[in-house]
Amino acid sequence: MNLLRRIPAIGIATGILLFSFCQTASAFTYWHGVRSDDWNDGISGSVSNWYSAPPPNGGPLNVPKINAMFAKGALRLNIVIRNRTGIGKMQFEPEAPVYTFRIARNRTMTIDGAGIVNKSNSTPKFTVLKGATLLLNGTAALRPLAGGASASIEAVDLGAGFKLGSEAKGGNAIVLNRNNAYTHFLDRSTAERMTITSRSGGETAFFDRSSPERAHLINLTGGYTSVAGTDGPSGNGVVPVGRIDNNGQFAIGDRTVNVEQTLTQGADGSLKLIIRQQVYGSLSIEGQATLDGELIVNATSSALPGTYKVIVANARTGQFSKLTFSGPSTLKARLAYSAREVRVIIEPK
């Protein structure tokens, strides 16, 4: 009789144990910043930077690998990544203040799960130092769910980079590349509605079948942006962009760039494209094209004399102040304008 009564008790105990294990396995880990500003400081004695509940509650945990949570009340809001670090998701709770993250020189931080989920009205800030990398990979996405942008990311020095690979998505993140730092989109990653600024040797480039989608691409003085290395999301050389403001160098190669809003090029800007026999670089702009600066045209050996519509816009103001043409020595080029178009006319010398 006693044995029969013990069997369900064992089952209940086992169920409680399994439930407790599942809770622990799926629990989020909250940053408290009790020990230091170092992301990788876990349990030492009974103290950790990471706990099982929002500050000031919970028990100490090791450094998370899957879910890192950020709420109000942490002792330190400025966090440094001093070692190679991987995390699946970073989530910012509704009342989270502004957290800042510095990726130390020559270190890499990889986010490869759900990405960054920002439920707050603050915007988390990431600074990538010389030789360091912030990598968004897999299906990770930068998701804003409240008033704040998903992230503000600044790559600040030579070799500092923000990379998006696989099918990563940029949300509405705000990015700045300066001092020879870069942002690169690889594989089938998508910029979505990001605002990306390059200046002072900073670079933004798209490769493989990545897409700017509806992003705002900005070049300030010394900035460089290229969509020449991507075949576009459909693989046909058509590349969608939200808006382009160029006062540096913008390279489109032989791609067809569809601009949802406007193209504005300043006096210090240059637009660079390639003309081949059957395909050539061009921009189709739903809004207005405001032009100044330089148009750089490289005609390959297969290019033939003819008229090439390189810009078609809903409206056009201004003209390029300079045309730089390189190609077969038997050819020359000039520009022709209309209210909506810019045409490159290639003629025999």
Give the Cα separation of 170 and 188 in Å (integer): 12
Residue type, 32: H
State residue 175's pLDDT score.
Answer: 98
Picking from 91, 39, 96, the residue whose alpha carbon sits closest to that of residue 62 is 39
Give the Cα separation of 307 and 297 in Å (integer): 13
Dihedral of the CA atoms 259, 260, 266, 269 (nearest 10)?
-30
State residue 128's pLDDT score.
Answer: 98
State residue 9's pLDDT score.
Answer: 37
Contact between 304 and 333 (Cβ < 8 Å): no
Which two structure tokens, joined as six digits, stand for 143? 């998701």
Phi, psi of 21 (to 5 degrees): -60, -45
Give the Cα separation of 262 and 289 in Å (integer): 6
CB-side neighbour CA atoms (13 Å) of 209? 7
Contact between 123 and 99 (Cβ < 8 Å): no
CA-based angle 76:80:83, to the nearest 5?
140
> Which residues are registered as beta bridge partners of 175?
153, 196
- How far does Cα 345 stand from its chain's mean position? 37
Contact between 331 and 308 (Cβ < 8 Å): no
DSSP 21: H
Give the Cα separation of 35 and 150 in Å (integer): 27
The domain ranges of the chain are: 271-349
| Cβ neighbours around 249 below 10 Å, total | 21
State residue 278's pLDDT score.
Answer: 83
Q: Pairing between strand 60-61 and 50-51?
A: antiparallel
Phi and psi based region of residue 254 (left: phi greater than 0; alpha: psi -120 to 50; beta: remaining): alpha
Mean pLDDT by 10 residues, the chain (349 residues): 33 36 60 98 96 97 97 98 98 98 98 98 98 98 96 97 98 98 98 98 98 98 98 98 98 98 98 94 98 98 96 98 97 98 97
Q: CA–CA distance from 107 to each of 159, 164, 283 (Å)?
A: 11, 16, 38
pTM > 0.85: yes or no: yes
Give the Cα separation of 253 and 232 in Å (integer): 12
Picking from 245, 249, 244, 296, the residue whose alpha carbon sits closest to that of residue 269 is 249
Contact between 266 and 293 (Cβ < 8 Å): yes
State residue 27's pLDDT score.
Answer: 77
